[in-house]
Structure 1
């Protein structure tokens, strides 16, 4: 069986991304390893859940990553989608913490979504299944 173990998000500042994804979004640090030349390997994951799935906070500079990240952002395309139980409640909580949203909670067919700015060069979509009926 093949399963997702890790995926990455290019960020313009790994330390700032780590703080945002843990302190604001509520993820937990899974790995924080000092590498050579001041680089770090940092992964986060859903606190208390999905222990086998990690999000790598990858440096987003360079000839491939930077144009890719900027193009997604400028086009308004989220780089990743996170599932939540209640998009409206998360939107309210995060707005209270000063998070900027480019799209508030909105029904889109079978789901409700919202899109936030992660402060490190990306848009992130929150999604929940729409209530039945």
Structure 2
């Protein structure tokens, strides 16, 4: 078994695509129009373009339980996803300059350094640097 695609719920697919590509630096992999203006829309790491795809899933717009789940995770400050980086501090500085809002600044928590930001699409995302 292997993981090919995993999804993250987003409130607006185009806004999410813009944020994940223009700000975070991911690359659009698949963009297929579906019904009701939705898309099968995935992004990948520019460093692993044949790696796991992240599906920008418009579930909160169409499935109330996923909307509640997303909102409650966000309120509780729980990250929806973790992205690993070489340097949390460098990414924090780069993203802050681009206007990204962090709820947790770079913090050493023992075996890793973390930071948490708002992806502007309804999710908290945690950056992780392994020490």
**TM-score, with structure 1 as normaliser:** 0.94
Alignment partners' CA distance in 2, 1:38 and 1:25: 24
Deviation above 3 Å: which 4+ runs of structure 1?
Answer: none
Alignment partners' CA distance in 1, 2:47 and 2:91: 17
**TM-score, with structure 2 as normaliser:** 0.95
The residue number in structure 1 matching 2:20 is: 21
Alignment partners' CA distance in 2, 1:58 and 1:45: 14
Alignment partners' CA distance in 1, 2:114 and 2:3: 22
Q: Secondary structure at the match of 2:89?
A: helix
Displacement after TM superposition at 1:100 (Å): 0.2
The residue number in structure 1 matching 2:65 is: 64
Alignment partners' CA distance in 2, 1:30 and 1:100: 26
Alignment partners' CA distance in 2, 1:93 and 1:5: 29
What are structure 1's unaligned runs of at least 5 residues? none
The residue number in structure 2 matching 1:119 is: 120
Q: Work out whether residues 45 and 51 of structure 2, in 8 Å CA contact, stay in contact via their aligned partners in 1.
A: no
The C-alpha deviation readout for 1:87-125, integer Å capped at 9, x for no partner, is 000000000000000001000110000000000100000
Q: Secondary structure at the match of 1:127?
A: strand
CA RMSD of superposed structures (Å): 0.9
The residue number in structure 1 matching 2:36 is: 37
